[in-house]
Amino acid sequence: MRTLVTGGGGFLGTHVVARLQAEGIDPIVARRRQYDLTRWDDTERLFADAKPELVLHLAAEVGGIGANRDNPGRYWYSNLMMGAHVIEQSRLHGVDKLVVLGTVCAYPKFAPVPFNEDDLWNGYPEETNAPYGVAKKSLLVGAQGYREQYGLNAIFLLPVNLYGPRDNFHPTNAHVIPDLIRKMSDAQALGEREVVLWGDGSPTREFLYVDDATEGIVLAALRYDRPEPVNLGTGEEISIKDLAELIGEATGFEGEIVWDTTKPNGQPRRKLDTTRAKELFGFEAQTPFREGIARTVAWYREHAAAYAGR
């Protein structure tokens, strides 16, 4: 099948593209410098150029708590418009299958733990990432609506926080794992005696290694054709405090961890119910968390110079 991957030059996208290539599929990769999917004309031109039969919509504007707090309007607009344009162009071009990637941020702030897909609409998302989460959740409505009205085979996946090699380690918009790895690796290299982290360390998070996420997306593309959203995760949670200590150990950081409680914690807990993915298309995460962290630390150390001075 002629396969289009939006966001194919990004963190997750590069891993998905590599996996498809290993299976003998050479996908068309949509990068923002060529096609700005927030613009209708660019999205229209992309689909005319690619003529896809399968579309994996992975493109997103996303960041950690600070980036979400600083860019609520931008994140809402960009993610909503990119998804809406891709869904409509998929209809117009008669795409056989559309895979839309959502986010764990779409869940209500106080959803019952573990988060089950049926609880997705039972409350408002956590405030600091609500614009991003609501935009993504709107795409689920669009995908289901287009399936009902136009017969578009669109599926919707809800991955938990991803991490791994080639993640975004930028100082101002990285997620928690790459941010901690960068801070602690750099502090250890410079001989600094403390790192300052946001919140109080009590929230919990669930993390999915990028290769496992890739496997889940590919399995869903091959085996799943229903309208219900599906979680992708491990079903395991860890507190931010324990995560910081684990990454300190992995990076060799021996200084003090200082918690800045004037900064927000974000959502209190995140843990997914992963039953549906296992039952409907056979997905189970395989990478042990410590092993995934070690691989990510090793990758950052090899490429740390690219982030120096940012």
**Which residues are known to be catalytic?**
132
| Strand 54-57 relative to strand 3-6, pairing | parallel
**Residue 119 CB: number of other CB atoms within 10 A?**
16
CA distances (Å), origin 145, targets 92, 138, 149, 151: 15, 11, 6, 9
Residue type, 205: R
Rounded to a whole number, what is the distance in angstroms from the first to the last CA of the chain?
41
Rounded Cα distance between 47 and 30, Å, is 10
Encoding tokens for residue 40?
């209708």
Nearest CA-CA partner of 136 in 58, 42, 36:
58
Nearest CA-CA partner of 162 in 12, 1, 6:
12
